[in-house]
Amino acid sequence: MGIVKQVTILGSTSTIGVNTLDVISTNRDKYSVFALTANTNIDLLEQQCRTYAPTYAALRHEKLARELGERLSDLPTVVVGGDNSLCDVASHPDTDMVMAAILGSAGLQPTLAAVRAGKRILLANKESLVMSGKLFMEQVRSNEAMLLPIDSEHNAIYQCLANGAVGHASGVKRLILTGSGGPLLRADISKMITVTPDQACAHPNWKMGRKISVDSATMMNKGLELLEASFLFDISPGLIDVMIHPESIVHSMVEYLDGSVVAQLGNPDMRTPIAHGLAWPDRVPSSVEPLNLTSNSGLHFEEVDHDRFPCLRLAREISEEPQGLFIALNAANEVAVKCFLDELIAFTDIPVIIEAVLEQTKAEEAPTIESVIELDRAARELALNRVNRKS
């Protein structure tokens, strides 16, 4: 029996967090839960603590942490709270690997804390790299951390690049990110203004949270993935293409100079890339239903219609620009999506708000975490001002 690895899950009540715990349950002889963190869902976090008995549970809000501590007073789990609590458990000496599954910009600081502690990072938070790509990757290298992508697309590319083996990824012509097109792929463009939050969140293939579901409906998720992939794989954004693949079976591809195209296939289930990240370079069971290609009606691919998906166009347009515009794109998108989900703006207002913020943001680098945070704050303010003007 090998050494049991201690896992910290940042965002354990998210879809990725829940799926990570499911994979750990399938492999209890290999992984143990060291720490669980959540935002406000203390009911689910309490259930998770009672099931997995982590050493620590962390909540950013101290009031919620005190309440959870009272609920778990019969357990040895230590409940911590405050701004630094997530960073503390992510960088704890007894943590072997960290699943970074906190949604949006809130995940940046604790993920960087894990990087600086030299941990194995299972990165499911694409916003961390979009916001701080150069700074983030420099920290990974200087602290000898291991970064394994968990987004299904980036994980697929990682596997297609000889599964991360050094020296085996030469001759790459382009990376091909696939996207389903979400629930609005065939919708009438002229009627997009009437799309409701429930319609935008009704993804045909994946079970995801509401924010990422809206990102899929606008295809901003592919825009963020394009920016992230350029940092992850140290490749020009111009060598990264996006292709519509409605079935979500081919998760991404790598085309090589000799004409070979290597693809990673699987059922649309996040437990597959999670299991890959936990076990790399080995493999462990994920409990995902095996892919049956003979029962599939076919695999289809098509070009992206940028009139239908202007958010992806905006990400492509800034992909060669300095980091400040990446930060503004992400911040404006987070604000706009939240306002759409709160029914303050129309679905079609999302790209309008993002483009307005980009036009008002200076194209500059963000060499420090302080500059990243300030640019993020300023972009959010611009986005909210634009929303208020429309109200």
Q: What is the pLDDT of residues 106-160, one digit of tens each?
A: 899 999 999 999 999 999 988 889 999 999 999 999 999 999 999 999 999 999 9
The mean pLDDT of the chain is 94
Is the separation of the CB atoms in 83 and 58 below 8 Å? Answer: no
Confidence at residue 15, expressed as pLDDT on a 0 to 100 scale: 92
The CATH architecture annotation of domain 5-149 reads 3-Layer(aba) Sandwich (3.40)
SS3 per residue for 180-213: CCHHHCCCCHHHHHHCCHHHHCCCCCCCCCHHHH
- For residue 332, report the phi and psi dihedrals to the nearest 5 degrees: -65, -40
End-to-end CA distance of the chain: 61
Supply the pTM of this predicted model: 0.94
What's the gap between Cα 344 and its chain centre? 25
pLDDT (tens digit per residue) in 270-303: 999 999 999 999 999 999 999 998 887 789 999 9
Helices (H), 53-191: 62-71, 85-90, 108-116, 126-142, 152-160
Residue in 93, 83, 94, 90 with CA at minimum distance from that of residue 123? 90
Q: What is the CATH number of domain 321-391?
A: 1.10.1740.10
Residue in 106, 127, 93 with CA at minimum distance from that of residue 37? 106
Q: Give dist(CA 146, CA 106) in Å, integer.
A: 21
Confidence at residue 1, expressed as pLDDT on a 0 to 100 scale: 54
Q: Give dist(CA 179, CA 219) in Å, integer.
A: 8
Could you state, in order of their start, the residue ranges of all structural domains in the chain? 5-149, 152-267+278-306, 321-391
Confidence at residue 52, expressed as pLDDT on a 0 to 100 scale: 97
* Phi-psi domain of 153 (left: phi exceeds 0; alpha: psi -120 through 50; beta: other): alpha
Element (H, E) at 57: strand 56-59
Q: Give dist(CA 181, CA 172) in Å, integer.
A: 26
Q: Give dist(CA 252, CA 157) in Å, integer.
A: 6
Is the separation of the CB atoms in 205 and 97 below 8 Å? Answer: no
Kindly state the percentage of the chain with pLDDT values over 90. 89
Taking residue 341's Cβ as centre, other Cβ atoms within 10 Å add up to 17
Q: What's the Cα-to-Cα distance from 274 to each of 16, 271, 302, 324, rounded to whole Å?
A: 8, 5, 28, 30
Q: Which two tokens stand for residue 60?
A: 């950013």
Is the separation of the CB atoms in 32 and 4 below 8 Å? Answer: yes
Kindly state the percentage of the chain with pLDDT values over 70. 98
